[in-house]
A and B are shown apart, each in its own frame.
Chain A
Amino acid sequence: MTSLDMSEVLAWARVLERAGDDVVDEGKKVVAKGSLNVKNEARQLAPRGPHIPSYASSIGYDVTTGAGWIEGEIGPVKGRRQWGLGNLLEYGSANNPPHPHHEPALDHEEPRFIAACEALAAELVTRHG
């Protein structure tokens, strides 16, 4: 008869479970920081001119969480002055070239965000290990 000692596997599973319990609270900080960075760079890159004096400052972000998920949303905030120009400015139109400012900001943040998520995962596992 063969026996299998699962004690270490089960102990590791408990570590992951406890780390998972903390991940939304701790991960929210990571997502908030990433969203803030994207917002700041999108504002810097946003087109400016006499006809769009308020557009850049309409860009904001918010972070929401639920059971097992965290979401950061960055973009012009509805109701702020000139927020409705975001679509046209970012993507252009048939006769107007685009002025990409959200997508490049997101591209630049991506490696930093992934590194921060990896660091958080390592920290939570270490904390509960």
Chain B
Amino acid sequence: MADYGYLQDHADAMLALLYADPDLTVYPPEGGGPTTVPAGTEPPYVSVHFAADRPLGGRLDHKSTRLRMRAYAHCVGANDIAARAVCDLVANAWLDVKPSVDGRNTYPIRSELSVPQANEVTGSTTVTITDTYRLESGPGSDGS
């Protein structure tokens, strides 16, 4: 498997947890590629984007060893009930789970926020709820 660096490793680790649920349709799909939902895709599905920053690690040497990855899960359903059901599946896959990332000590994934998205497109047939999760990690895979 290609090595795209540990930022991608964190994204892969989170996506793998979603792929493990056969009831979830996930974008980007397994195998990679951009997070673009093909035109005409029928809900329900979840489209995931990531944003990361690297704050200080809180150690005496003041190195920026920490990685904070926010995952934005856009849970799309044909109506509110379906969108909430997708949110539930995502929460079941992620919440409080410690994913495994080589060379990193990961902390449990935490939920930050759930934001229903206003959809003002005329004739829109989908409902989106955006849930934000946070995965943090530090150096070392043994808790050191």
Seen from chain A, the residues whose Cβ lies within 8 Å of a Cβ on chain B are: 87-88, 91-95, 97-98, 100, 103-104, 107
CB pair B132 A91 closer than 8 Å: yes
A92 touches B118 (CB 8 A): no
Which chain B positions have C-beta within 8 A of A92? Answer: 49, 72, 74, 130
Among A91, A94, A107, point to the contact of B115 (Cβ < 8 A). Answer: A91
User: Interface SS of chain B: helix, strand, loop or mixed?
Assistant: strand
Which 10 residue pairs across A and B have the least CB separation, nearest first? Answer: A94-B47, A94-B74, A91-B130, A97-B49, A98-B72, A100-B51, A94-B37, A92-B49, A92-B72, A94-B76
Structural contact, A91 and B72, CB atoms closer than 8 A: yes
A-B contact count (CB 8 A): 45
| Contact A107 B53, CB 8 Å, known A91-B117, A97-B35 | yes
Report B-chain residues with C-beta under 8 Å of the C-beta of A93: 74, 117, 128, 130
A-side contacts of B132, CB under 8 Å:
91, 103
Q: For the side of the interface on B, what is the size category?
A: 20 to 34
Complex contact A107–B72 (CB within 8 A): no
Known: A97-B35, A100-B51. 18 other contacts (CB 8 A): A87-B115, A91-B115, A91-B132, A92-B49, A92-B130, A93-B74, A93-B130, A94-B27, A94-B45, A94-B47, A94-B74, A94-B128, A95-B47, A97-B51, A97-B72, A98-B51, A103-B112, A107-B55
